[in-house]
Structure 1
Amino acid sequence: MKNKIYIIKTTFNDIKDVNKLQNILLEKNLASCIQINQIKSAYIWEGKICNEDEIQLSIKTNKKNAKKIESIILDTHPYEIPQILILKSKASKSYLKWHKNELRD
């Protein structure tokens, strides 16, 4: 599975929290790229339907760093139960080469 990119998806409601996490991950070379998107989320929380504006992060990393990133998210996230989805994905050879060069081993 060395040729896989791991994509971690999480959401926040405040850009300050997004910036804090992105800076931690990029400064430590735990992520090669973080995409940030404004989204609308609909979900059930404590028996009620909620509709919220959120900020979604797609964090590109490797298997080893995915566990570290999950831990950092859990330690720093303001939500009681943050969304943390870890997906394996294939990538083009050129993107994969760049990605690997940007990460800490």
Structure 2
Amino acid sequence: MVLWTTVESNEQAEMLARGLLEQRLAACVQIDSPITSHYVWKGQTCSETELRVVVKTLASKVDEAMTWLAENHPYDEPQLVVLPVAKASSGYARWVAESTSK
């Protein structure tokens, strides 16, 4: 599974990545280059520079990872989007499973 969120700073992204890895809720967390997000918040049209945080995990860890992110995310209402992985190489899938087991 792949879980996406966004944050406003590299420090926030690094904090989330470290926490998810320390809790073994993710095998890998990637921090994408700055993106520009356009959205409506509380009736206002906004445009902000953000970083996308991409979390690679198992389906069995998604709920726990989303709960952890909701509790530790700096945003009031963070984007927490989960995308299923249709197919992954067997070696990669095994590594994700091993990396997220306690």
What letter is aligned with 1:87? L
Equivalent residue, structure 1, for 2:100: 103
Deviations 1:25-56 (CA, angstroms, capped at 9, x unpaired)? 11122111111112111111112211110011
Residue 94 of structure 1, CA deviation: 2.1
Residue 15 of structure 1, CA deviation: 1.8
Residue 97 of structure 1, CA deviation: 1.8
Residue 93 (1) aligns with residue 87 (2): no
Give 1:38-53 correspondences, 5 Å limit.
38-53=34-49
* Secondary structure of the corresponding residue to residue 81 of structure 1: coil
Paired with 1:77 and 1:99, the residues of 2 have a C-alpha distance of 23
TM norm structure 1: 0.87
Equivalent residue, structure 1, for 2:4: 9
Paired with 1:28 and 1:45, the residues of 2 have a C-alpha distance of 31
Q: Do 1:28 and 1:104's aligned partners in 2 also have CA atoms closer than 8 Å?
A: no
In the TM superposition, structure 1's runs of 4+ consecutive aligned residues that sit over 6 Å from their partners are none
RMSD, matched Cα: 1.3
Paired with 1:98 and 1:77, the residues of 2 have a C-alpha distance of 26
Residue 85 of structure 1, CA deviation: 0.2
* Secondary structure of the corresponding residue to residue 8 of structure 1: strand
Equivalent residue, structure 1, for 2:55: 59
Paired with 2:101 and 2:91, the residues of 1 have a C-alpha distance of 18
* Secondary structure of the corresponding residue to residue 76 of structure 2: coil
Q: Figure out how many residues of one structure are paired with residues of the other and give that number.
A: 100
Residue 31 (1) aligns with residue 26 (2): yes
What letter is aligned with 2:35? I
